[in-house]
Chains A and B, each alone.
Chain A
Amino acid sequence: MPRLGTSIRFTGACAVALATAATMVSAAGAKRTTTLNGAGSSLIAPAVAVWAPAYAKASGTEINYSAVGSGAGIAAITAKTVDFGASDAPLTDSQASACADCVQIPWALSATVPTYNVPGLHSGQLKLDGPTLAKIFLGQIKTWDDPAIKKLNPGTSLPNLAITTVHRSDGSGDTYAFTDYLSHVSAQWASQVGNSTSVSWPGGVGGAKNAGVAAVIASTPGSIGYISVAYVVQNHLDWARMKNAAGNYVLASAPDIEAAAQVVKSVPADNKLSIVDPPASPKYKNAWPLSTFTYVIVHTSSAQAPALRKFIFWALTPKAQHMISNSFLVFAPIPKVVLVAAEKTLTKVH
């Protein structure tokens, strides 16, 4: 048999070496520690980024999280591509039936914030209320010096600049909270657009995930969008004061978010909570009207159920909750009634 050419032998040797190396390396990389893979909400992502190293030190379990948006998180956990999904939006009826043995557990409390980039205005200076915000996103208010905005901001000079609205182009829990709020405060929004993780926006620019929306707002003068509060703080963007139902202009600070969460008197069996637009009562005078709980979604029985249960239990402890309720991340403490319901649901996971 004629000798195989040098090139063939060289190629063959390379292939064998590559295959051997790959096998050895992947065998070496095979898990000796438990790893939990999660995906979903970008709102909770900064919290998970703080929790992961702390939990790894406490328990040896690694948390691998991919912030792909609440919609993708729901899809991923339904398809069992990950061990846990995270979403700011509770499962819809059809999603709940598609994810048959899933439970959703509220494990953090934060908010989404109208964020703007208007030359001449600094952070916290712009005052808006629900109906005006709805009209802006419906495309009915087109410039920053519109009388409706001027009325809410007497004494502030507003430029004659076109408004560019920015929304999430992916399936998003922030979109859910934002459209939930707008549906509450504007009947036209409720009938024309509605409330979901993904809606048909009447115009505007789309950004992918919180980071993408932040990038668009930061680079587009005259823009306004909605972002999880942690991203606003991290990127030094300008956030708006919103007029809540009680008539006060508030900012999305932890105490104001916590006040909004007080509307929860009892938690339904499926843990589906909505705390946007708290009613006009003195109890909620400082409530931030676009607050939202965020959920971790897991299957009740799976190979990783014990490890998941330990992790979520740890995340619900005061110590873990304390780690994320700071000035950077702006998560608020979960009210007792929700905590009890969360832990009760957790017992189903085993």
Chain B
Amino acid sequence: MSVHGMTERTLNVPDLQRRQLFNRGMEVIAWLAALIAIAILVVVVYSVGRRGWTELNFNLLTKAPIPFSFTNAPQGLSNAFAGTLVIVAIATAMALPVGILVAIYLNEFAPPAIRNGVGMALDVLAGVPAIVIGIFVYGLLVAGGGGQSGLKGSFALGILMLPFVARTTIEVLALVPNSLREASLGLGVPQWRTTLSIVLPRAIGGILTGTVLAVARVAGETAPLLFTSSLVGAKTSWNPLHALQTVPVAIFELSESPDPKDHARAWAAAFVLLLFILFASLTARWLATRSARKIAGR
């Protein structure tokens, strides 16, 4: 790696003061840029946190919304929280097994050509914007008489989760040392059992980490749900065969309302959503360090 033409300049002492001044100047600029960026970050996080915190109350989770309420009757977003729980849970149930199977195939069975091809397909899938996924699932499942439902929303979110789960699983499977596989096969254990009982358990920590991170990501996704699960009423339902309200879609709708009470509920819901995502990310990080320690420890 070449150090661009420095040697000549370095030994020129009268130049030193100018260079040190310039260095100081660049340091100041870097500090400034960083401080501006940090200020922005603090403002955003603080804004959301403070408004969300002050508007938080139990009604949010326990009461359903009352459309066009002319009184100050307590209302909340219970339908949205119920819907998000159901839809994200089902999406995870869809994406996780498929993601693990894809990873197993790519890491344990596939010849290099297929590995590259499918890997590329996964990368492409990860780059598709969420709104295009929404159009896709709408055209595939909802249009032409299909109707909206929580399941179809889960399917869309599952597509978003799949490349993520698959990629992280591939990486942790690759970390499992070959010596383990060879020892197991050498003892006469069939390959399928080797994979499922020897290799996979070693990777489970990383798989869980990846899954939790994927959940954190799709919990806040709005665009695909607009196409698949947005024609909803105010009633709280847990039935995924119907369209269910979800927290991101609820926040989206409330954000465009003129009523300050709606804004208050939007902030509170955003706060809860953000807390959930942060909690999931922290859990993922804890799982990752725990499994790394276990692998290193053994």
Taking a contact as CB atoms closer than 8 A, the residue among A18, A30, A211 that contacts B89 in the complex is A18
Hey, which chain B residues are within 8 Å of A11, CB to CB?
204, 208
> Is A58 interfacial (CB 8 A cutoff)?
no
Within the complex, the shortest CB–CB distance from B70 to chain A, in Å, comes to 6
Please report the C-alpha to C-alpha distance between residue A37 and residue B244 in the assembled complex, in whole angstroms: 12
Hey, which chain B residues are within 8 Å of A63, CB to CB?
233
Q: Are B256 and A29 in contact (CB under 8 A)?
A: no
Q: Are A8 and B204 in contact (CB under 8 A)?
A: yes
Taking a contact as CB atoms closer than 8 A, the residue among B67, B148, B235 that contacts A67 in the complex is B67
Taking a contact as CB atoms closer than 8 A, the residue among B147, B201, B238, B256 that contacts A26 in the complex is B238
Q: Are B239 and A80 in contact (CB under 8 A)?
A: no
Taking a contact as CB atoms closer than 8 A, the residue among B93, B146, B232 that contacts A66 in the complex is B232
> Is B50 interfacial (CB 8 A cutoff)?
no
Please report the C-alpha to C-alpha distance between residue A269 and residue B69 in the assembled complex, in whole angstroms: 37
> Is B143 interfacial (CB 8 A cutoff)?
yes
Q: Are B239 and A79 in contact (CB under 8 A)?
A: no
Q: Are B238 and A25 in contact (CB under 8 A)?
A: yes
> Is A212 interfacial (CB 8 A cutoff)?
yes
Nearest B-chain residue to A209, judged by Cβ: B256
Hey, which chain A residues are within 8 Å of B89, CB to CB?
18, 22
> Is B19 interfacial (CB 8 A cutoff)?
no
Taking a contact as CB atoms closer than 8 A, the residue among B147, B193, B233 that contacts A81 in the complex is B147
> Is B200 interfacial (CB 8 A cutoff)?
yes
Hey, which chain A residues are within 8 Å of B147, CB to CB?
79-81
Please report the C-alpha to C-alpha distance between residue A130 and residue B174 in the assembled complex, in whole angstroms: 72
Taking a contact as CB atoms closer than 8 A, the residue among A15, A82, A214 that contacts B231 in the complex is A82
Hey, which chain B residues are within 8 Å of A303, CB to CB?
none
Q: Are B256 and A215 in contact (CB under 8 A)?
A: yes
> Is A2 interfacial (CB 8 A cutoff)?
yes
Within 8 A of A (CB), among B255-284: 256-259
Nearest A-chain residue to B193, judged by Cβ: A1
Q: A64-B235, A211-B257, A214-B258 are in contact. Are A79 and B143 (CB under 8 A)?
A: yes
Q: Are B231 and A26 in contact (CB under 8 A)?
A: no
Q: Are B230 and A49 in contact (CB under 8 A)?
A: no
Please report the C-alpha to C-alpha distance between residue A124 and residue B146 in the assembled complex, in whole angstroms: 47
Hey, which chain A residues are within 8 Å of B93, CB to CB?
15, 18-19
Per-residue CB contact flags for chain B residues 169-195 toward chain A (1 = under 8 Å, else 0) read 000000000000000000000000100
Q: Are A81 and B200 in contact (CB under 8 A)?
A: no
Please report the C-alpha to C-alpha distance between residue A64 and residue B235 in the assembled complex, in whole angstroms: 7
Q: Are A26 and B208 in contact (CB under 8 A)?
A: no
Hey, which chain B residues are within 8 Å of A28, CB to CB?
238
Q: Are B204 and A5 in contact (CB under 8 A)?
A: yes
Within the complex, the shortest CB–CB distance from A123 to chain B, in Å, comes to 15
Per-residue CB contact flags for chain B residues 106-146 toward chain A (1 = under 8 Å, else 0) read 00000000000000000000000000000000000011111
Give the contact-size bracket for chain A: 35 or more
Within the complex, the shortest CB–CB distance from A254 to chain B, in Å, comes to 17
Hey, which chain A residues are within 8 Å of B67, CB to CB?
45-46, 49, 65, 67
Hey, which chain B residues are within 8 Å of A15, CB to CB?
93
Total interface residues on B, CB under 8 Å, equals 39
Q: Are A66 and B230 in contact (CB under 8 A)?
A: yes
Please report the C-alpha to C-alpha distance between residue A214 and residue B233 in the assembled complex, in whole angstroms: 22
Hey, which chain A residues are within 8 Å of B240, CB to CB?
22, 26
Hey, which chain A residues are within 8 Å of B161, CB to CB?
none
Q: Are A37 and B233 in contact (CB under 8 A)?
A: yes
Within 8 A of B (CB), among A61-85: 62-68, 76, 79-82
Q: A15-B93, A26-B240 are in contact. Are A80 and B145 (CB under 8 A)?
A: yes
Q: Are A81 and B231 in contact (CB under 8 A)?
A: yes
> Is B47 interfacial (CB 8 A cutoff)?
no
> Is A235 interfacial (CB 8 A cutoff)?
yes
Within the complex, the shortest CB–CB distance from B247 to chain A, in Å, comes to 16
Q: A46-B68, A79-B142, A79-B145 are in contact. Are A211 and B256 (CB under 8 A)?
A: yes
Hey, which chain B residues are within 8 Å of A1, CB to CB?
193, 197
Per-residue CB contact flags for chain A residues 21-47 toward chain B (1 = under 8 Å, else 0) read 010011011100000010100000110
Hey, which chain A residues are within 8 Å of B231, CB to CB?
37, 39, 66, 68, 76, 81-82
> Is A234 interfacial (CB 8 A cutoff)?
yes
Q: A8-B201, A37-B233, A46-B68 are in contact. Are A81 and B256 (CB under 8 A)?
A: no
Nearest B-chain residue to A3, judged by Cβ: B197
Hey, which chain B residues are within 8 Å of A5, CB to CB?
201, 204
- Known: A4-B197, A5-B204, A18-B93; 17 extra A-B contacts, CB below 8 A, are A1-B197, A2-B197, A5-B201, A15-B93, A22-B90, A22-B240, A26-B238, A28-B238, A29-B239, A30-B239, A46-B68, A65-B67, A68-B230, A211-B258, A214-B257, A215-B256, A231-B258
Q: Using a CB–CB distance below 8 Å, which chain B residues touch chain A? A: 66-68, 70, 86, 89-90, 93, 142-148, 193, 197-198, 200-201, 204-205, 208, 230-235, 237-241, 243, 256-259
Q: List 17 A-B contacts (CB under 8 A).
A: A2-B197, A5-B201, A19-B93, A22-B238, A25-B238, A26-B238, A26-B241, A30-B239, A45-B67, A46-B68, A49-B67, A64-B233, A64-B234, A64-B235, A65-B67, A79-B145, A80-B147
| Interface pairs A-B: 8 shortest CB-CB | A64-B233, A215-B258, A214-B258, A5-B201, A49-B68, A212-B256, A29-B239, A46-B68
